[in-house]
Structure 1
Amino acid sequence: MGYQDEWLLLEAEDDVDEIEHRQPTEEFLFYQEVSNGNIKAVQENCRQERFLDSEGVGILSRNAVTNLKYHFVITTAMITRLCRQKGMELEQAFRMSDFYIQKLDDIHTVWGVRDLHDEMVLDYTEKMRKLRRSDTNSKHINACKEYIYSHIKERITIEDLSDELGVSASYLSRLFKKETGDSVSAYIRIQKIEKAKNLLRYSDYSIIDIANRLSFSSQSHFIQQFRESTGVTPKKYRDNNYMAQWEIETEENP
Structure 2
Amino acid sequence: MDTRILKKLYQIFEVPVIVYQDSEKIKQYPPENIFRSVFACRNTCVSEPQLTSESKCLHDKAQKLFDYMQEMAVFRELPFLLFEDDSIFYGVLKDEEENLIIFGPASEKKADKKRKRSYHYRYHLNEDPLLKQQSKKEMAKLLVLAGFLINGKDIETDSIRIANCNEGIIKWSASGDTAYQQLNQSEYERDHNSMEYENKLIQIVENGDMDAMYKLVLGTEQLEDRHIGDVAADERKRVEYLAVTLIVLLSRAATKGGLSYEKSYGLADVYLRRLETCKEAEEMLALSSRAQIEFTKKVKITKMENCRFPHIERCKEYINQYLQKPIKVGDIAPAIGVSRSYLSRKFMEAEGITIQQYITKERCARAANMLKNSDYPISIISEYFCFSSQSHFGNRFKEYSGLTPKEYRNQKSAAITLEKKYKDVKKSTGMLCGAEIIL
> What TM-score do you get using the length of structure 1 for normalisation?
0.50
Q: Higher RCO, 1 or 2 (CA under 8 Å, sep at least 6)?
A: 1
Q: Which has the higher strand share?
A: 2
Query: Which structure: larger Rg?
Result: 2
> What TM-score do you get using the length of structure 2 for normalisation?
0.30
